[in-house]
Structure 1
Amino acid sequence: MAELILIRHAQASFGAADYDVLSERGHRQSAALGLALKAHGTTPAAVFRGEMRRHRETLDGVTGTLGVTAEPAILPGLNEFDFRAVLTARYGEEGPPGLHDDRKTHFRNLRETVLMWQRDEIDGVPERFGDFQARVLGAVDTMTASGADSVMAVSSGGPIALVVATLLETPLKKMIELQLQMKNCAVTRIVFTPTRRFLHTFNETPHIDAETTAEYLTYS
């Protein structure tokens, strides 16, 4: 069987004006993940990423220490949904309480809003949930049809959680619960044949051990 390795981006800049930039810790996380994957003998034959800056910076860090020089293919289907726009459509331009300074409140509001978005209860969103679903699963189709027996891709929590929920045939409301569990630089592995796909692992962190937990274990 072939393998698809999905990597959630490293720590971005929660609370900053531009979230789509890796923190200094995020750069260290991605480099550490590349070293861990190299130690496990990972040798991807094809590499993909989304269009976002945090995807590019994470992939650069991983491949730099992993030793992969292949030019990545860019798939818009791997992009995160625009959570700020979805929140704005529900709450207005000021956004919900805690957007910039209270993680617990922010993620509670995000969870509630995503469930409403999935049920198509929010007007004015730039992307309907059904369209998000179609583009993400289309990106998976493209990657698994690439002909490579080992494929690696950097994406975000939302798309990866959607893929996992789809493979497990869970209710789609489980997507946001999976997303909020996902660690930065976490690895999800899918094994596949031309006709079937199976979830192999979810949310693994080969770059984190007892000594590096304080440095590398982050969620946003």
Structure 2
Amino acid sequence: MGSIYLIRHGQASFGADDYDVLSPVGIRQAEVLGAHLAQLGTRLDRSLSGNLRRQQHTANTTLEQLRAANIDAPALEVDAAFNEFDADAVVRTLIPGMLAEEPEALHILRNGPSNRAEFQRLFAKLIGRWIAGEHDQPGLQSWQGFVEQVNGGLERLLEQADSKQNIAVFTSGGTITALLHLITGIAPAQAFELNWQIVNTSLSCLKFRGSQVSLASFNSHVHLQLLKTPELITYR
């Protein structure tokens, strides 16, 4: 059987003007991941990411660590199907319909870094509306549309894959969530409950034979845990 390693990007720049940039912690997480894979002697036949900078930076930093250990690492391929959903667009589109029941919503969203618990509560509520499909609006990618996007990327990957290949996909939490939904049949709401637990640079492993795919492991971040440095274990 072949293996697909779903790797969430390192910590991005939450609260900054440009979220799509790895923070110093995110860069360190990717370095630690690459060193850990090198120590294990992991050999990858292919590596892919979406076209987001945080995904590609994580991928290239990880692959550089493998090469530094004299382990051949494949060039990074890009497939936008593995991009994250546009969370900003979801918030902008759906927040007006929530203001009556959440009058402090705009204040919470504008001050997310200083009030992470309230931000997460509100964001989870918005995601719940999005995945329910009852608030779809023109111009906003629906949850179902996002799932179809991710499924297209998975199908392309499998069509091109050899049955014994090890393939790394550097992606995002929402994309991993969509794949969990597709592969295990778990309901979207339950999949997103798992989403909130996905650690930056964690690995989830899929096993495949032909077009048959199963989940082998989820959210492993032992490479961070071994350092006994709690600040490297992040979720955004």
TM-score by length of 2: 0.87
After alignment, is 30-39 or 113-122 more displaced?
113-122
Offset at 1:125?
5.0
Cross-structure match for 1:106: 119
Unmatched 5+ stretches in structure 1: none
- Tell me what 1:183 maps to: 199
2:234 alignment partner in structure 1: 218
> Are the equivalent residues in 1 in contact too, given 2:95–2:126 (CA < 8 A)?
no
Aligned residues: 219
Structure 1 segment 14-33 matched on structure 2, within 5 A = 14-33=14-33
Contact 1:86 1:125 in 2 (8 A): no
Q: Deviations over 1:115-136 (max 9, x none)?
A: 2111223335521111100010
Q: Which moved more, 1:118-127 or 1:151-160?
A: 118-127
Aligned partner of 1:130 in structure 2 is 144
Q: Deviations over 1:11-45 (max 9, x none)?
A: 00111111110001110110100111112221110
Distance 2:107 2:206 in 1: 37
Q: How does 1:70-81 map to 2 (within 5 A)?
A: 70-81=74-85
State the AA in 1 paired with 2:221: T
Cα drift, residue 90 of structure 1: 1.4
Deviations 1:91-126 (A, max 9, x none): 25x974432332111111111111211122333552
Structure 2 portions without partners, runs of 5+? 97-103
Deviation at 1:146, TM superposition (A): 2.1
- Paired residues of 2:204 and 2:216 also in contact (CA < 8 A): yes
Partner SS state of residue 160, structure 2: coil
Percent identity, aligned pairs only, is 28
Q: How big is the shift at 1:80? A: 0.6
C-alpha spacing 1:41/1:144, structure 2 compared with 1 (3 Å)? farther
Question: Residue 131 of structure 2 contacts residue 189 of structure 2 at CA under 8 Å; is this kept in 1?
Answer: yes
| Cα offsets for 1:123-155 (capped at 9, x unmatched) | 355211111000101111122222241111100
Cα 1:96–1:125 change in 2 (3 A) is: farther
Which of these two proteins has the greater Rg computed from alpha carbons?
2
Cα pair distance change 1:78/1:109, threshold 3 Å = same
DSSP-derived class of the 2:196 partner: helix
1:195 to 200, 203, 211: 211
Distance 2:145 2:105 in 1: 23
Q: Which amino acid aligns with 1:127?
A: Q
8 Å contact from structure 2 (residues 45, 73) kept in 1 = no
Q: Deviations over 1:36-73 (max 9, x none)?
A: 11122211101100010101110111101022542221
Contact 2:206 2:213 in 1 (8 A): yes
Stretch moving more, 114-123 or 82-91:
114-123
Higher share of residues assigned helix = 2
- Structure 1 residue 209 displacement after superposition: 2.7
Provide the residue aligned with 2:100 in structure 1: none
Alpha carbons 2:11, 2:234 under 8 Å: kept: yes
Distance 2:52 2:198 in 1: 18
